[in-house]
Amino acid sequence: MSDLRSDFVHIFEPGQDTARPPVLLLHGTGGDERDLLPLGRTVAPGAALLSPRGAVLEHGMPRFFRRLAEGVFDEDDLRRRTDDLAAFIREAQARHGIAAPVALGFSNGANIAASLLLRHPGLLRGAALLRAMVPYAEPPAARLEGTKVLLLSGAADPIVPAANTARLAGILQAAGATVKHHDLPLGHGLSQMDVALTRDWMAAV
């Protein structure tokens, strides 16, 4: 449980490999702080793991921010929740003595990770965004030089249009991030292909 000011229920696993950056795990809709721990351990063995639970409930399912409909975000809520999450990350860094984390987000978690990149540049060392969408109709200007981003989209994803992910890649590249984008022959769910690509990318961050 969390007693940080931002009050996110979370799990922190100390790392054994000090050469690896810590990993911030951000679950999808209906997940919780335990969902991505196995994935984190697999793609970044030995890294410290920081895994908060989204503080918004949608029909009883945790999320990191509200939405108005499928694929339509409540941008005011997204801004506020992104700032809350940024405060939590900074406090967790101070409390646990960890460096800037690399985010690993899936779906809703990937979307708030993209928002973190744009609203709080420099907070994250990098981000692996699995099935992410453009978080804002008019994204804020950001300087992301030195930030590495992995985008894994699904060509058959019924939730995230291919053009949307391509636009997100362009926004991040225009801000200076180093972006690798793979459009996989998959839907919205994750596969071993996602695991292998994320593991290889994490090893080089």
What tens digit of pLDDT does each residue of 14-54 get? 999 989 999 999 999 999 999 999 999 999 999 999 999 99
- As annotated, the active-site residues are 107, 157, 188
Q: What's the 3-state SS for the chain? A: CCCCCCCCCEEEECCCCCCCCCEEEECCCCCCCCCCHHHHHHHCCCCCEEEECCCEEECCEEECCCEEECCEECHHHHHHHHHHHHHHHHHHHHHHCCCCCEEEEECHHHHHHHHHHHHCCCCCCEEEEECCCCCCCCCCCCCCCCCEEEEEEECCCCCCCHHHHHHHHHHHHHCCCEEEEEEECCCCCCCHHHHHHHHHHHHCC
- Counting the structural domains of the chain, the total is 1
**Within-domain flag for 197:** yes
pLDDT at residue 100 is higher than 80: yes
**Within-domain flag for 2:** no
CATH code of 144's domain: 3.40.50.1820
Residue range(s) defining the domain that contains residue 62: 10-203
pTM of the model: 0.96
On average, the pLDDT of the chain sits at: 95
Question: What pLDDT shows up at residue 2?
Answer: 40
